[in-house]
């Protein structure tokens, strides 16, 4: 993929901000969006090729206007990356609707709200890349992560469908599944995080995976990816015995 116009949702902090900076350094013009204008402005000040557009992905009307604004200002959207995420640790056996609603509304429905407007723009320009940051947490149901893990599993399933359906329209769908990466979200965790990665390292793997290949899955670090996938492939009696060991004592 050659340099062009990228739009990153969740570009005001964490992985999204690091990806925006790296793309800009490599010659891209990058629009970044998120709810916090001050965070977006701080990232944009770091490079003249980064443009801030404040957006809440739970606001469908604002999404349509933002897509029009970016396409009008920058001409097109060659690479779209959805990286907005809501997360909070949950107690074992707690399935409170209010907690689930916030996480589902951002992580999953945020992608649904934004999909058609972005895809319509890509149709107008003849194609593009539609990428979503899911998580290795979506490979199987993790204890104490019911809301977050289930939204990421839903995204993986959705993106698999989109990859097939959108290929004839010259739109390449990409699924990004990081492990634990240092960020505001992981700072909330009160449990061990194996293979914890630096934000800049994760950003480089994402940008390299998006721009130097067309593969669907960009997942890392490999040791954690294969560990999670191996657990998913276990027979259910073994699987539930193992995940039971993950419960706090």
Domain with residue 28: its CATH number is: 3.40.50.720
By CB neighbour count within 10 A (0-12 exposed, 13-18 middle, 19+ buried), where does 42 fall? middle
Which CA distances in Å does 56 have to 60, 64, 72?
A: 9, 11, 20
* 123 within domain boundaries: yes
Indicate the SS3 state at residue 77. Answer: coil
Hey, which residues are catalytic here? 148
Name the residue range of residue 91's domain: 5-244
Contact between 20 and 92 under an 8 Å Cβ cutoff? The reply is: no
- The reported pLDDT for the residue numbered 197 is 85
Is residue 90, in this structure, part of any structural domain at all? yes
Distance (Å, rounded) from C-alpha 82 to C-alpha 61? 17
pLDDT reported for residue 113: 98
**Hey, which residues does 181 pair with through a beta bridge?**
197
Contact between 73 and 33 (Cβ < 8 Å): no
Q: For residue 115, what are the CA distances in angstroms to 2, 57, 118?
A: 23, 11, 5
Number of domains in the chain: 1
Question: How confident is the prediction along the chain (249 residues), in pLDDT tens digits per residue?
Answer: 889 999 999 999 999 999 999 999 999 999 999 999 999 999 999 999 999 999 999 999 999 999 999 999 999 999 999 999 998 778 889 999 999 999 999 999 999 999 999 999 999 999 999 999 999 999 998 888 899 999 999 999 999 999 999 999 999 999 999 988 776 665 565 555 666 789 999 999 999 999 999 999 999 999 899 999 999 999 999 999 999 988 877
Q: Give domain status of residue 249, yes or no.
A: no
């Amino acid at each position: 993929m050659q340099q062009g116009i990228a739009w990153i949702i969740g570009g005001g902090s964490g992985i999204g901000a690091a990806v925006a900076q790296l793309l800009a350094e490599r010659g891209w013009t990058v629009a970044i969006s998120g709810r916090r204008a001050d965070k977006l402005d701080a990232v944009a000040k770091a490079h003249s090729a980064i443009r801030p557009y404040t957006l809440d992905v739970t606001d469908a009307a604002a999404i349509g206007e933002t897509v029009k604004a970016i396409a009008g200002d920058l001409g097109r959207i060659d690479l779209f990356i959805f990286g907005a995420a809501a997360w909070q640790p949950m107690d074992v056996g707690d399935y409170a609707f209010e907690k689930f609603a916030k996480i589902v509304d951002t992580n999953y429905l945020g992608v649904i709200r934004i999909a058609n407007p972005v895809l319509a723009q890509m149709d107008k320009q003849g194609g593009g890349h539609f990428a979503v940051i899911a998580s290795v947490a979506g490979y199987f149901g993790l204890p104490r992560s019911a809301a977050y893990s289930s939204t990421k599993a839903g995204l993986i399933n959705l993106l698999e469908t989109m990859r097939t359906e959108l290929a004839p329209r010259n739109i390449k769908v990409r699924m990004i599944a990081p492990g634990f990466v240092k960020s505001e979200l992981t700072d909330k965790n009160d449990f061990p995080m194996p293979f914890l990665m630096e934000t800049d390292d994760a950003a480089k793997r994402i940008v390299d995976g998006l721009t130097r290949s067309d593969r669907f899955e960009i997942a890392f670090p490999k040791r954690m990816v294969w560990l999670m996938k191996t657990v998913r492939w276990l027979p259910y009696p073994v699987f539930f015995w193992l995940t039971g060991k993950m419960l706090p004592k």
